[in-house]
Amino acid sequence: MQKKALVVSLSNEQPQAQVEKIELAPLPPDWVRVQVAYSDINYKDALTLKAHSGVLRDYPRVPGIDFTGWVTASHDRDFQIGDQVAGIGREIGIQIDGGYQETVDVPGEFLHLLNGQRTLQDAALIGTAGLTAAIGLTKVLDTESMADRNAAILITGVTGGVGGWQLALLASLGYHNLTVITRQVDLKAQLLARGAKQVLTPEQVLLPALKPLAKQKFQLVFDNVGGDLLANLIPQVSENGHLVVSGNAGGIKLTTTILPFILRGVTLHGIDSVNYPHDDREEIWQLFETAFWPAENLRPASQKITFAELLPILTTFTTQAHFGRTIVKFRSRRPRF
């Protein structure tokens, strides 16, 4: 039996992607086969098409770090045929073949059983982006800085998946003083409608001259950009404030000093959703069943595309402006078992 898959191969040190028909392999012990309903596009997925990005080390590979769907075969006793599941992050689409295919085989330990209110489409909307945002929020939710619902909070990269989820979660939890950063000024009205109080461009938060300490403006910063923008924000974090860092689209180098951390007691939280422990992941999914599920008008913006539309959009994803989540629809009807 064959399936359609988006396969990335390496030719003359350049990744080449195309849709191919490939044979279904025998299912290994403790693995589960899933008929894909939805996948999504993350920044990491787009990087698999970039030369020397370091995301993929083995070729050929089917990318797609997230997927949702129905179990069609299982060698893991925790999953039965017909179960609705989500595979989010881990090694999916990086070290094993991922969600950009009609059916995907993964270790059962990589799957979350969707047995609550969240649908397959809901879980795809959450994806790695929502999981990362939620993990970051749990790191600081019980801190003194967040005890005040009017705390000055800044979110960078707000038009991306993680930033969009951070805005949605914070607004739905009742935080009012939310400043968001974007170059897409035409989206200001939409961001304000989704809970932002102030929309600024990156240039508006840059310091005239980078110095160790500056005026204290933000009690919390959720940064998804890194690089020079983060370097300019660190000196502006208030005493005993927090930085939640989960992205590096602006670069991995950081020019800063230790003074904000030792003179103001600023805490930096680095978020790694890939290796987040299984039991803690399950707790995050339970939060998405309750307090972390925003009203529809506050959820991240999303667009839905077909598998046939995936490759052209994925190819330009890192260079084109986009807003929110891109969901890839494979099928919405439950298969017959």
Q: What angle do CA 17, 18, 22 make, to 5 degrees?
A: 115
Does residue 190 fall inside a structural domain? yes
* Omega cis (within 30) before 60: yes
pLDDT at residue 331, rounded to an integer: 87
CATH number at residue 26: 3.90.180.10
The CATH number assigned to the domain holding 176 equals: 3.40.50.720
Q: Are residues 234 and 210 in the same domain?
A: yes
Three-point CA angle 187, 188, 192, nearest 5°: 120
Task: Let me know if residue 249 belongs to a domain.
Answer: yes
Q: Do 96 and 166 share a domain, yes or no?
A: no
Q: What is the pLDDT of residue 8?
A: 97
Cα separation of the two ends of the chain:
16
Residues 138 and 108 in one domain: no
**Residue of higher predicted confidence among 6 and 337:** 6
- Rg, Å, the chain Cα set: 20
Average pLDDT over residues 307-324: 93
- Residue 112, domain member (yes or no): yes
Which pLDDT score, from 0 to 100, does residue 333 have?
A: 83
Domain-located, residue 206 = yes
pLDDT tens, 120-144?
Answer: 999 999 999 999 999 999 999 999 9
Paired strand residues for 326: 41, 303
Domain presence at residue 168: yes
For the chain, what's the residue count? 337
10 Å CB burial of residue 40 (0-12, 13-18, 19+) is: buried
Domain check: are 168 and 223 in the same one?
yes
Residues 94 and 157 in one domain: no
Distance, CA of 194 to CA of 171 (rounded, Å): 7
Q: What's the pLDDT band for 27 if we cut at 50, 70, 90?
A: very high
What phi, psi does 36 have (nearest 5°)? -75, 130
- Per DSSP, the three-state class of 8 is strand
- 125 occurs within a structural domain: no
Residue 60's domain spans which residues?
2-117+293-329
Assess if residue 56 is contained within a domain: yes
Q: Are residues 102 and 24 in the same domain?
A: yes
Q: How far is CA 76 from the centre of its chain?
A: 27
pLDDT at 116: 96
The string of pLDDT tens digits covering residues 170-190 is 999 999 999 999 999 999 999
Q: How many domains does the chain have?
A: 2
Quick: pLDDT tens for 226-260: 999 999 999 999 999 999 999 888 889 999 999 99
